[in-house]
Amino acid sequence: MKRFPFTTLATLLIVVPFGSIRAADQDAKAILEKAAAALGGKDKLAKVDAMTWKAKGKISFNGNSNEFKSESTVKGLTHFHSQFHGNFDGNAIEVSTVLNGDKGWRKFNDNVNEMEPDGIANEKRTIYLAVLPVTIVPLLGADYKLEVAKEEKIGDKTAVGVKATGKDGKDFTIHFDKESGLPVKLTAVVVGFGGEEYTQETTFSDYKDFDGVKKAVKVEVKRDGTTFIEQEISDFKVLDQVDDSKFNEPK
């Protein structure tokens, strides 16, 4: 039987007048305020703590495209549960990923492995990169340093950008449709299954309304310019609460 290979600075100081920094920060916040309004309203999004959704699509490894389905639940930015079902070279693969604060586990078929600290940090980054384009509001808080990014042409539309740096010291950039305010692309450096780094571009399209919250249901992920994931989102729901057992070690 074929086996699927799943485990596949210097500091620069720029002196800028304080007034210029403050103005740039306010410009970035104005972009995010517009995005929050477009996604459902700042007040409504501020109350969104837990979400669940399903996805199906194709994931590519080594030039091979494979179909998958997944179900995910997230609470805040530190609790996550995902079940992934795929078929690779005729082999069925089931992966459960659970993050519970500073603990995490990944289960491949019947084998459960506890995540190392680096793996937990990478998983937390994966979560906030997925959640923040939906909720936006946390970016307006004190946990993120903001600056305006260069405008881009995405498809046939102009997109304005915000670069955000979190407490982990890592940055990412979200671009928003200049006219509608909706998120259209997120760019970040991420770590792959084997510890390798990629520049990842995630594009969002085909927004749908789910009980007053807009969510992109078509998502494409490229790593170093090569298509990695193409997926469609369904059954997106904002949850009032999640049973804590959802984030226990998978059995």
pLDDT tens, 204-228?
A: 999 999 999 999 999 999 999 999 9
Domains and CATH numbers, the chain: 18-247 (2.50.20.10)
**Whole-angstrom Cα distance, residue 48 to residue 50?**
6
The predicted model scores a pTM of 0.86
pLDDT tens, 23-49?
A: 557 899 999 999 999 999 999 999 999
Q: Smallest Cα–Cα separation from 154: which of 222, 209, 60, 53?
A: 222
Cα angle value 70/76/78 (rounded, 5°): 80
For residue 32, the tally of other CB atoms under 10 A from its CB is 23
